[in-house]
Amino acid sequence: MSDSYELLVAKLKRVHVLGTVAGLLGWDEQVNLPPDSADQRGEQMALLAELNHDAASDAGIGKLLGELENAPASLTVEQQVVVRETRRDYDRMTKLPAEFVAEKARLSSAAYHAWAEAKATSDFAAYAPFLCKHLALAKREATYLGWADRPYDYAIDKHDPGMTAARLTALFTELKAGLVPLVRAIAASPIKARTDIFRGFPVEAQRDFLREVTERLGFNYRRGRIDVSLHPFCEGSGADIRMTTRFDADNPLDSLFSSIHETGHGLYEQGLPLALQGTPLGQNAGMGIHESQSRLWENQVSRSREFWAFFEPRFREKFPAQLAAVSPEELYLAVNEVAPTLIRVDSDEVHYNLHILLRFELEQRLFADDLAVADLPVAWNALSQELLGLTPTSDRQGVLQDVHWSGGAFGYFPSYCLGNMIAAQLWFTVLKTLPGLEDDFAKGDFSRLLGWLRTNIHEQGRRYDTLALVLNVTGEELTPKYLLRYLQERYAPLYLK
């Protein structure tokens, strides 16, 4: 039976390698691709999607799974995890026609370029046909997999196995009830962070500083790199991680915190067992867990006083003239500015989850056919006013701001809010487990935190789904109460004195 297991792993690793090639081409498409080469890249992506589909739906995998499932006693606990999760993946893949997979890949490439152009010109109407096609494909995919009556639940489950719209609604409703009073109290506070202190920060110096920060956090640049793209993202497996950011001379914190966010993703991928790449034990547990890693490093760690106690002197060395008249307290308040914004990726963490609630509601309405794609801008603007108190003046500021729908990534946005909740729950767990952890940060030492995450999250692969992993690590079911506690403890002392 060991021979069957080894054959299965060999086939899985081949699928993995094909996937990494497609991922690398996807990274290149957003970083280096010449503007008039998009049509060829679309065909390349479609071909790779077909090849990957053929490899992942190979009848030989099904035969080997059957043999192994018939003799579970011959498998170790870890091997049983691989067989269980591979069965889940295989059954999904074999139900999707190859031509459908290629069609979706081709559309995703074309839709990305249509989105980028539409965003630049604030022309939603030009992008809407691509979004309509993606929505139709998403519903077709759900039908192929047996979720025709619950297509949005399928979209959510793809990113966070075991999660449903009903479960998310319960969590988000509780979060909103506790969050809105804090948002209103801070809005009424006379204390405001200065936003005029960040002017004229040279991009090269920003690049050097964020490289220094992300290396100290633990990112291995011998197996990764960071470049520039329209929308920051992280792509790749532990052997080759490609991150991106963007730079603004008058907003250095944007590049810094987006880079730290993507570094959290990169650290997770680099922490997955390299020898098990291609198998479920070398894969992440879901996007909610993935986002918990990026948000924990971006927020709980990098917005803390201890983090800035270490990095502020270096920041001032890089930008002496720009920060000469800025006090340490003004700088720290700016790092933790709370003010509503139209743009999700620019949002402070107090308002951030309201941005996700907006998208969650719109996606549910789209999948329920209660909202037409053509009416999205009006619906978006109305919800933005309701939740954030702001109405976009252009679609660039509203419905066109995110890249996700151009790739058909419906059901992904809730993962950000889940990630925030999980990050806070992990944070309070690790603080109890590792006394004096924040004192480490003031010394520039993040190794104990990274080591704890490696052991408890990264090295677990897909042994557990999202909810089970949270319960296993923290000893409690997932709850918004720790996120609400964290936000209160971080921001009340700053704004509600």
Q: Which two tokens stand for residue 35?
A: 């503007």
Q: Which two tokens stand for residue 374?
A: 């053509």
Residues in contact with 489: Cβ distance below 8 Å, sequence separation at least 6, in sequence order:
none
State how far the Cα of 291 lies from the Cα of 47, in Å rounded to an integer.
Answer: 30
Which entry of 29, 85, 262, 349 is annotated as an active-site residue? 262
Short-list 113, 66, 106, 105, CA closest to 86: 66
116-120's contacts with Cβ under 8 Å and 24+ in sequence apart are: 116/230, 118/395, 118/400, 119/230, 119/396, 119/400, 119/401, 120/396
Q: How far is CA 210 from the centre of its chain?
A: 19
Q: Which two tokens stand for residue 372?
A: 């037409």
Verify whether residue 262 is a known catalytic residue: yes
State how far the Cα of 419 lies from the Cα of 290, in Å rounded to an integer.
Answer: 7
Catalytic residue list: 262
